[in-house]
Chains A and B, each alone.
Chain A
């Protein structure tokens, strides 16, 4: 079920009313109800996916309980390894089996052999990367004794299948979300109001900006060989904005919906395109994934301690894995590696650097430079293969970069992009006089109505979110 669908527009109010008026007596009823609706929401795509999530949930619940029962380090390590093996095994099979087989066959064939290995027709369960990481972080936190495991299976299953963030995050940590399932939720007007505002803003970003830009991005990336460099640059910029509005739009809706049910999810984006370098960008982009890799991969590898070559290696490992997490294609790995390469010098330079007073011109220049750098790296993310990405860059940096871009109405998207940056700037700087609560009711409602009507005008059927494929 997509957030931007009529099915969800019916599903949400029904679930909301039942949750607060029928299942509101005890916390266990609230959790049971959320578990059921989480499974309905997820099974809407394909009921067979439910078997997988149910199995992972049961396994990690049992592993949590078993980890708590023993202090034997060897035994605990073995139990935790089982969780990693099964969770990553499922992820590896469903997401990467064909990728690895393909690459293995190519290597073996280049050596002159012809292995008879079949490619399987595997359907990738929606959001498997997200809930696998969430579940894995629970067993890891129990293993490292950061949290006590829960003994309430319904509560744990509701935590794993919490529908607002089930298929595309934010990837919540048990330490933040699990305690919220332990206490009975009380309706909070302010929180619900904020939630609705976030839902509307998320839908606006997705439907009005991301989906409008996707038309041009598809056209440009689909015909890049016949277009001038200036148009390809426009295509890359549009993709930067598209993916941001698509994914941050989803996160806004997820956080907003969670608020309607009395939950607070972690912030997933913090104005990333206003970052002054790539490292800052990654602290503000897909925060729940970045911090996951930091806590469960980068720090265990040694993090920023030790000699420079070791730090550089740790960074590259983390960013390659982060790239691979996004999809079974070398384009994602290269995309991750490039991000890692640009971050390494920043890590080294910032070690002994003193905080300098801000300089508007210099800061703006750094922000613009970072945006263009990130935009160029996104080309690998969007391309079908590495060859296409290099061809795209080759044409982009040819003489035709200095020609007038072929437009086909593409300039129509520019006011939308300016509007986005303006609103983000106001929100980032927390300009008080422009906050919604500063306006009289009729003005606020006027803006809400305009936003709803605009979303409907731009609405297209079956526009999935980009991150669903991950």
Chain B
């Protein structure tokens, strides 16, 4: 028994050392120059603006789904599209922006639906990548509950770093002039992903149908209520909009979307538009059920402008 335990413990310690070493010391080739690094550029965009601004917060439904230039033209205010990736989780995505919110700002929040009923709210592997390789200062924004959820992604992330580091010399190098929609350079000066605007649609899967057992995470509601109070304290305005979603996926998620809508309303943080307004046909999507192509971006931007116009002007729900 002693021999067995000694060997198992040694193998375990060796594995842990390898994973810990990879986490802290192996150069990052996973997220280097990826959209996740775009988060740093987006921080700079926020820092550069002194006066009142419009900030869009959400996952990739926001980054792939907005033409900020049109919003700027309409409202004559600078706009920053902070959308990067839904897997950063709503909690981190909001906490990351909080300190940049000032008097007179309009904060438009459009989180992906999964944030409300799955663990996505706390972040996934992409957030681990940000916290350990892209922006370690972001760790101070992460609380214990979030770490508990993130912990399960850390071994896989470390292992992937080892794999990518070993195999990176053998990977086919793409020409530096070709920018993928998932590159850091895929964002324009406002933070919109625009590289794919000239690309044809790609095949994509729809959302899995919900089975009716989904429950709304009450922590999300409490968190959003606190965020609303925070923006009010800062004399800024918070507007929550439904995310844009492909029609078949909307139908698959109808039950849960209804639950989210009701839950937000009962917590006095309602959507400023009905979710069905942002249900778009499949041909308007680029490569996932949340990523719009150019035609979709134009349509969504127009709807967002109408919604903001109505709300800022004190109008009713469209």
Contact = CB atoms under 8 A, between A and B. Distances in A.
Interface of A: 6, 20, 187, 189, 192-193, 196, 219, 222, 408, 445, 448-449, 452-454, 456-457, 459, 461
Contacts, number: 43
Contact of A456 (B1, B3, B156): B156
Nearest to B12: A13
Contacts of B76: none
A123 to B, nearest CB: 10
B123 to A, nearest CB: 13
A457 B4 contact: no
B1 A187 contact: yes
A411 to B, nearest CB: 14
Nearest to B162: A453
B160 interface: yes
Contacts of B77: none
21 contacts: A6-B152, A20-B1, A187-B4, A189-B3, A189-B4, A192-B4, A219-B205, A448-B11, A453-B15, A453-B18, A453-B162, A453-B163, A454-B159, A454-B163, A456-B19, A456-B156, A456-B160, A457-B156, A457-B160, A457-B162, A461-B152
A219 B156 CA distance: 24
A119 to B, nearest CB: 14
Contacts of B156: 456-457, 459
Given A456-B156, A457-B162, 8 more contacts: A192-B4, A219-B205, A445-B14, A449-B18, A453-B15, A453-B18, A456-B158, A459-B155
B312 interface: no
A459 B156 CA distance: 7
Given A452-B15, A453-B18, A457-B156, A193 B4 contact: yes
B40 interface: no
Closest 3 CB pairs of A and B: A456-B159, A457-B159, A453-B159
Q: Max chain A CB contacts within 10 Å: which of B4, B18, B155, B205?
A: B4
A408 B202 CA distance: 11
Nearest to A13: B8
Interface string B152-183: 10011011101100000000000000000000
A408 B4 CA distance: 45
Nearest to B119: A461
B160 to A, nearest CB: 5
Interface of B: 1, 3-4, 8, 11, 14-15, 18-19, 152, 155-156, 158-160, 162-163, 203, 205
Nearest to A20: B1
Which residue of A187, A192, A452, A456 has the most chain B CB atoms within 10 A of its CB atom?
A: A456
A461 B19 CA distance: 18
Nearest to A192: B4
Contacts of A196: 8
Interface of A is mostly: helix
B276 to A, nearest CB: 25
A449 B14 CA distance: 8
A452 B158 CA distance: 12
Nearest to A123: B213
Nearest to B213: A123
Nearest to A187: B1
Contact of B11 (A189, A445, A453, A459): A445
Contacts of B152: 6, 461
B163 A457 contact: yes
Nearest to B7: A193
B40 to A, nearest CB: 26
A72 B38 CA distance: 81
Contacts of A457: 156, 159-160, 162-163
A321 B288 CA distance: 42
A185 to B, nearest CB: 12
B115 to A, nearest CB: 16
Contacts of B205: 219, 222
Contacts of B11: 445, 448-449
A291 to B, nearest CB: 32
A456 B18 CA distance: 12
A367 to B, nearest CB: 33
Instruction: Choose among A196, A448, A453 the residue with the greatest number of B CB atoms under 10 Å from its CB.
Output: A453
B226 to A, nearest CB: 28
A135 B55 CA distance: 63
Contacts of A408: 203
A192 B3 CA distance: 11
Nearest to B124: A461
A453 B11 CA distance: 12
A165 to B, nearest CB: 22
A196 B8 CA distance: 9
B63 to A, nearest CB: 24
A335 to B, nearest CB: 25
Contact of B15 (A20, A192, A449): A449
Contacts of B15: 449, 452-453
A54 B18 CA distance: 44
A90 to B, nearest CB: 23
A448 B10 CA distance: 12
A182 B308 CA distance: 74
Nearest to A193: B4
Nearest to A456: B159
A453 B23 CA distance: 13
Contacts of B159: 453-454, 456-457, 459
A420 B163 CA distance: 20
A166 B24 CA distance: 40
Nearest to B125: A461
Contacts of B160: 456-457
Nearest to B15: A452
A439 to B, nearest CB: 15
Nearest to A7: B152
A192 B11 CA distance: 15
Contacts of A192: 4
A457 B163 CA distance: 8
Nearest to B151: A6
A284 B19 CA distance: 38
Contacts of B8: 196
A242 B163 CA distance: 23
Contacts of B1: 20, 187, 189
Nearest to A441: B7
